[in-house]
Amino acid sequence: MAVKPTLHLDLGLASLGLGVAASLAGAWFPARAASYLDPILALHNIESRQRESALGWRRATLGAVLLLASLLLIQFSPSGVGMVFQFSYAALMLLGLTVLLPMLVHWAARAIRPAMDWAGGSEGALAVDAMVQSPRRSAATVGALMVGLMFVYSTAAYIQSYKHMIDRWTAQMLNADLVVSTSALLRSTSYHFSEDLGIRIAALPEVRRTDNVRFAIVPYRGDTAGVSAMDMENFLARSSGAILGGYKSSANDPLSRGDGVLVSKNFAARWSYKAGGWVHLDTPTGPLDRPILGIVEDYRSDKGSIFMDRALYKRMWKDNAVDFIDVTLKPGQSSVDVKHEIERLTAGSEHALIYTNVEFKQWIDSLVDQFFLLNYMQLVVAVIVAVVGIANTLIISVSERGREFGVVRAIGGYRAQIQKTVLLEAFSISVVGVIVGAIAALFNIQFLSRTVSTVLAGYDVPYYFPWALILETFPAVVAVSLLSGLIPARRAMRSPVIEAIGYE
């Protein structure tokens, strides 16, 4: 369904204010440095060519403290402190990395210098020396590349972690051969099946067992929670490894009798429950108190879910409606053929959506991909910003190193060598950017997998670092960096020698 675009004036003004504040903050340091220039040295172009200090111990300490503080807050801060406060952890992390960036650029450049000297000759050494001598100038470009690659690597890692988690959930909890549902979301507030449909499907010769499941949203402690009611004996027989925490070996009988419940991970995280705690529910027939016998992975409700035996639910809520039916087939039966039989059985009498296990998992994967589509678009924007930054920094580098290139030409250097030097500097920036981007991704993945997941969904996502992706994207990053360096390289190559060294 199409959604009409809406302009939120408050968000627009907030974005404008943040943009102006960021621009002023970014201009403060170079403005302060310009105010301290020695006018005599600046007129002779000496001040601007003085070697930069990579980083003093005070700034190193500040960067390390900011980074450590963000990691401690990400790891140990409770989920209930508020979204704005929790998302400030990322700001602390980025600020710490930014403070440390010149030092990281300096170390990374020195680390790759022997390889650049061996592979690129004297031009390769000159290209890396330009970064070593001007780490703060290079840090501006590497910083843009770092942020772009950090988003690429960490978002891709988060998506892969999320998909692995969903795959594990569907394998453990949604492992019926067929699912017959009233809606694509496995629940509906207006339409339900009767228990008779499950009996009719169970009568098919290919069917071994059917399980009627009711998924209802109920009030819970001033909020809501999901209740999933099913035949616990059949569920545990089909999903024996689903219980992640609790009394795995002794929970079956109490669960089947309705003497205990299971809760999802996000429910346990949301309300700080552990196995052994008690859940209190207000039902139409009176209060219901049951011990938590285990914790399972389930993501059907962002508020969390409580799993109980269907007989207990029917008794307490006086509700025998069915939202979906899990169908288990006899060995050797085709799920596709049985799906067609159920479609003929329900045609004209039921509004039923029927999925094979493979189709249902593919549908869930498509939902995950749609959810992360906006993130992919943001990654493209981040990479474009990084590319523009590389080109801009190389143009500045060429302008500042005019005398250097002029001297090289004056002593017999070729134009092609000048062009090669600038392109190798672009290559060096891309290599250092990948290294620093991977380091930044290490921290940002922790933020995404713990803080963001807890705030938005109520559960942690397993940590996954995309080593393969870094290796796969490295050639593309290098290619884009070299393309960005073409214009500055041609500009340096065509610079007249007399103009370059004339002021001396």
pLDDT band of residue 48 (cuts 50, 70, 90) is: very low
The rounded distance, in Å, linking the Cα atoms of 365 and 369 is: 6
51, pLDDT greater than 60: no
Confidence at 315, pLDDT banded by 50, 70, 90: very high
The 10s digit of each residue's pLDDT in 322-348 is 998 999 899 988 999 999 999 998 887
Could you tell me if 304 and 321 are in contact, meaning their C-beta atoms sit under 8 angstroms apart? no
Per-residue pLDDT at 279: 93
Residue 321, pLDDT > 80, answer: yes
Q: Give the tens place of pLDDT for each residue, 109-133.
A: 888 888 887 877 777 777 777 777 7
Question: Cα-Cα-Cα-Cα dihedral of 365, 368, 369, 374, to 10°?
Answer: 180
Kindly state the percentage of the chain with pLDDT values over 90.
13
Q: What is the distance between the alpha carbons of residues 198 and 471, in angstroms, rounded to a whole number?
A: 51
Name the token pair of 254: 């109490």
In this structure, the strands spanning 278-283 and 324-329 are unpaired
d(CA 391, CA 488): 7
Condensed to tens digits (0 to 9), the pLDDT of residues 359-417 reads 888 887 777 777 677 666 766 776 677 667 666 766 666 666 666 666 666 676 677 77
261/323 Cα distance (integer angstroms)? 20
Tell me the mean pLDDT in the region 84-109.
Answer: 80
The pLDDT value recorded for residue 276 is 85
Is the pLDDT assigned to residue 306 strictly greater than 90? yes
| 61: its two tokens | 């300490």
Position of tokens 């549908």?
363
- Mean of the per-residue pLDDT values for the chain? 78
Segment 7-42, tens digit of pLDDT: 667 767 777 777 777 677 666 766 666 666 556 555
pLDDT of 198 over the 80 cut: yes
Classify strands 223-230 and 305-309 as parallel, antiparallel or unpaired: parallel
CA gap 466, 470 in Å, rounded: 6
| Least confidently predicted of 137-141, 230-234, 269-273, 316-320 | 137-141
Rounded CA gap, 229 and 147, in Å?
46
Cβ pair 323, 193 in contact under 8 A: yes
Cα 406 to the center of its chain, rounded Å? 47
Taking each helix axis from N to C end, the angle separating 57-76 and 83-133, rounded to the nearest 10 degrees, works out to: 150
Task: Tell me which of 110-114, 238-242, 260-264 is least confident.
Answer: 238-242
For residue 499, the SS3 value is helix
In the structure, what pLDDT confidence band is assigned to residue 155 with cuts at 50, 70 and 90? confident
| pLDDT (0 to 100) of residue 430 | 82
Model confidence band, residue 201 (pLDDT cutoffs 50, 70, 90): very high
Pick 453 or 111 by higher pLDDT: 111
64 falls in which pLDDT band (50, 70, 90)?
A: confident
Contact 383, 480 (CB under 8 A): yes
Has residue 503 got a pLDDT over 60? Answer: no
